[in-house]
Amino acid sequence: MSLAQYALRRILLIIPLLIGITFVSFLIANAIPADPINTNLPPSQLNNEAIVAAFRAEWGLDKPPIEQYFTYLGNLLQGNLGRSIKTRQPVAEDIAKFLPATIELATVATVFGIFIGVGLGIVSAVWRNRPIDFIARAVAVIGVSVPVFVLALLFLSVFHAQLGIAAGPGRLTVTLRDPPTVTGLFTVDSLLAGRPDLFLDAASHLILPGLVLALYIAGLISRVTRSSMLEILSMDYMRTARSKGVRESIVVMKHGLRNAMLPIVTVIGLSYGNLLAGAVLTESIFAWPGIGRYMFRASTSQDFPAIMGVSLLIAFIYVVVNFVVDILYYFLDPRIRLS
Amino acid sequence: MKLLRFLAILLAIAMLATSFASAQEERVLVIGHAESTDSLDPARGYTQTTGVIHRALYETLVTFPDDSAAEILPMLATDWTISDDGLSYTFNLNPAAVFSDGSPVTAEDVVYSVNRLKNIQGSPSFLAAIIADVVADDADTVTFTLSDVSPAFLANLANTAFGITNSEVVTANGGSAAEDAATTDAALDFLNSNSAGSGPYILESWEPQVETVLVRNENYYGDAPYFDRVIITNIPEPATQKVALESGEIDLALDLTSDQIAPLEGNPNITIFRGPGNIVHFLLMNANPDIGGPMADPLVQRAVRMALDYPGYAALWGGVQPGSMMFYGNAYSFAPEQGVQRDLDGARALLAEAGYADGFDITLEYPTFTFQGVNMDTNAQKIQADLAEIGINVTLAPAELQVALESYRTGQEGFGYWFWGPDVLDPIDFLSFLPGGKVADERALWTPDVASEELNAMVAEARIATDPAAREELFTQLQAYTLENSPWAPFIQPDVQTALAADLQGYVWHPQWLLDVALLSRAE
């Protein structure tokens, strides 16, 4: 099967999946036994029937749910996600505003997480049951099990407030002005605007939240790396490679890691999707205006269009990340190419 | 190639230097705050966030002193008269007042802003519900007609929601003050990113959930504020605000809890502001003997007031003893020294006179709740100890807030412990605790039927009196009356606390708008 065929089949599978997601999130959003007028209209307007009726008509809440759903689906097929009740802006614009912050953070965290996680995993596997293995495994357990908000506050108060060696909350130092928006990623936009000072500031603000999230996913990555590596390291071809006199580092990295990569790539992909779907607590503590906080606000105010929009986005992110992982499989494992 | 790289580095250094220089010239104040609004339109936003921002952007006809609600002061209006029937208020506007675009503040602008607030039916519109009509008599005079007598009207007008907007600018940007403004006004987007007021600052930008930037209004007709630029950065987690304050990133943290402030004590870079808030903690003694038992006896009620160790509560939480159920800082409110003083012998004598020489057993109901850092359990235990001294044996009956509220709201509580924050910053709020008022009638069953004729007459007068001298006398008499005879024992008005950078000067807490950024400056 060629790569193009393989990719096409994957893409076609995405469409029914996304439609299914819209249906499920619509059902869940509507199943909450509360009326959005209570969270979106001031109390003084609740007794005013004309205003309540106008509100319901404006947001289509006066129609039967099934009709609301098909209207939404119709708009969606034309690429229209609707307007947020809370911000009164198009949901697509809101997402475009909040998503880049999350992408920037999730990407940095994942890169950190891969280095820490894969590194620890290899060390653990190669020096299995030695002291260094125990240390690496302890770090992994701590990373997974310490709540992120504890780690986030601890890092902020130690590295930022006490030692002063890392930047604090927010995406930029408060007194600096945002770079002109091109991609929404401050690191990229500041370079495009020719402002190395802003780039450094934005990059330094990514370190602490990136590290906190990285430790969280690194725990998972290192455990999968360790077990996958252990399996590979006991393979006959490893012994063969060694007996050929190949250097140990090459044995481990080329013959070992490369073949152990499949489950590791899967976990990395899932973690990345997870972080892109929003890390509400970390975003709150680091005052990071990302999609997690947007979603939190949307759900507490029963902002249906925003909830649906973000649910779709998250589903889409997962689908895309899985798709990329599948494509990586294609390159990593020749057996997929042959089947 | 090398030259190119050298030039690039030079350019970077130059840019860094210029950005540094401009930052030094500008005086910038950075406030950390958990933003809580969907709108910066004065007719729509009505939260703590908008209180702070609107205070800087808009002015009202009348206002309060910087740190209390103790009196009504002129702002855009220089003076005013109230008709004898208390229904019409006429204000003369300050002819010097101008909007940020330089145009004068006229009576038409007042009419427009008030009608817009009323007709848009946003969260703060209820404040304008009492206004039947508002007309411009001439360019500098405006008259309000009320649908009913409302002595708290001036205090309501001091609310930032009554901020006067530039009618021409707002109309040009889609604004409407017409009766159907609730559906036709389209100035929301404009007022979310611009301001149209006469305050010391103008709104430069608002990025919801990120930051609000105010810059100095160059056309301000009053004294120019110290800071050129005020940045209110959204930090939703108070714990993060604390860290940002410690690192010097922000100058002022608006949302710290008292247990977050405590460890900042002794930090040389931080000062802690303390001042009495406007929350009064009190005991309720049901006036109905079937429910209150011995507590329904006015002599016992007085004995309880005399048994409480007032300085002890102030030592626990900071703050003051409220002189009455009216919070200290409100107009005409009793000072702490005018309140009941502890007198155990006197209290025992009163109990004996009431027929309880050996005391009695009673249950104290209260919610297990910590409000603004004040733990009600701790206070309840102290109340138990205080009353034991005069032979009243108190059993504590804490309950979950919602459970306790139920029996409080239905008037089923014989002896309860609650707290109260004013609904309106006017002495009229005190009437809630007198017969005919909501709390007295429904919670303590102290109704006009059981109250003395003398008291009912005073309350009726206080409800409609608008003349300041008459009000002062009435509210003084009423407060004095409740010290002798009432089902209330107010015992602590705890401090509010704010942590700020040590070099920041002029900070005061205000019960209405929380913070006036124009009062702040930096020690140089």
Nearest CA-CA distance, residue A161 and chain B, Å: 5
pLDDT (0 to 100) of residue B17:
45
Q: For the stretch B208-244, what's the b/e string if a residue is b when 16 or more beta carbons lie within 10 angstroms of its beta carbon?
A: bbbbbbbbbbeebbeeebbbebbbbbbbbbbbbbbbb
| Inter-chain touch A174–B233, beta carbons under 8 Å | yes
User: Does B300 score more than 90 pLDDT?
Assistant: yes
Q: Do B490 and B314 contact (CB within 8 A), yes or no? A: no
Mean pLDDT along residues A200-223: 92
Residues B98, B82 contacting (CB under 8 angstroms): no
User: Touching check for B246 and chain A: CB below 8 Å?
Assistant: yes
B208 to chain A: which residues are within 8 Å by CB? Answer: 87
Is the ipTM beyond the 0.85 threshold?
no
How far away is chain B from the Cα of A296, in angstroms, using its nearest Cα?
12
pLDDT number for residue A43: 63
Alpha carbon of residue A180 to chain centroid: 25
Answer whether B236 touches A (CB < 8 Å): yes
Considering all CA atoms of chain A, what is the largest pairwise distance in Å, rounded to the nearest integer?
85
Please check the confidence at residue B6 and state whether its pLDDT lies above 80.
no
pTM of the model: 0.84
A212-223 average pLDDT score: 91
Nearest to A44 among B121, B183, B243 (CB): B121
> Could B247 and A86 be called an inter-chain contact, meaning their C-beta atoms sit closer than 8 Å?
no
* CB-based contact B246 A86, cutoff 8 Å: no
Burial class (CB in 10 A: 0-12, 13-18, 19+), A278: buried
Pairing assessment for the beta strands B211-216 and B229-234 based on DSSP bridges:
antiparallel
CA distance A40 to chain B (A): 10
B23 in contact with A, Cβ within 8 Å: yes
Write down the pLDDT at residue B449.
Answer: 94
What's the pLDDT tens digit per position in B152-185?
999 999 999 999 999 999 999 999 999 999 889 9
CATH 3.10.105.10 fits B280-493, yes or no: yes
* Closest CA in chain A for residue B47: A42
**Lowest-confidence pick of A33-37, B77-81, B170-174:** A33-37
Instruction: For CATH 3.10.105.10, list the domain ranges present in chain B.
Output: 280-493
Listed range (A34-38, B279-283, B298-302) with the worst mean pLDDT: A34-38
Contacts with A86 from chain B: Cβ below 8 Å: 38
d(CA B80, CA A138): 74
Chains A, B: CB contacts under 8 A, how many? Answer: 94
Domains delineated in chain A: 91-338 (1.10.3720.10)
User: Which range scores top for mean pLDDT: A33-47, A159-173, B439-453?
Assistant: B439-453
Q: What angle do CA B507, B508, B513 make, to 5 degrees?
A: 115
d(Cα B187, Cα B197) in Å, to the nearest integer? Answer: 14
Backbone region of residue B209 per phi and psi (left: phi > 0; alpha: psi in -120 to 50; beta: other values) = left
Residues of A in contact with B235 (CB under 8 A): 169-170, 287
Task: Give the closest of A42, A160, A285 to B237, CB-based.
Answer: A285
User: Hey, are the CB atoms on A161 and B246 less than 8 Å from each other?
Assistant: yes
Q: Quick check: A174 and B23 CB within 8 A?
A: no
Spell out which residues of chain B touch residue A297, defining contact as CB-CB under 8 Å: 209
Q: How do residues A100-155 score in pLDDT, each as one tens digit?
A: 999 999 999 999 999 999 999 999 988 888 998 999 889 888 888 888 889 999 99
pLDDT of residue B169: 97
pLDDT of A241 over the 70 cut: yes
Q: Look up the CATH architecture of domain B31-226+499-522.
A: 3-Layer(aba) Sandwich (3.40)
The average pLDDT across B256-273 equals: 90
Cβ within 8 Å, pair A289-B23: no
Q: Which residues of A touch B234 (CB under 8 A)?
A: 287, 289
Q: Do A195 and B235 touch (CB under 8 A)?
A: no
Residue span(s) of chain B under CATH 3.40.190.10 come to 31-226+499-522
CB B457 within 8 A of CB B79: no
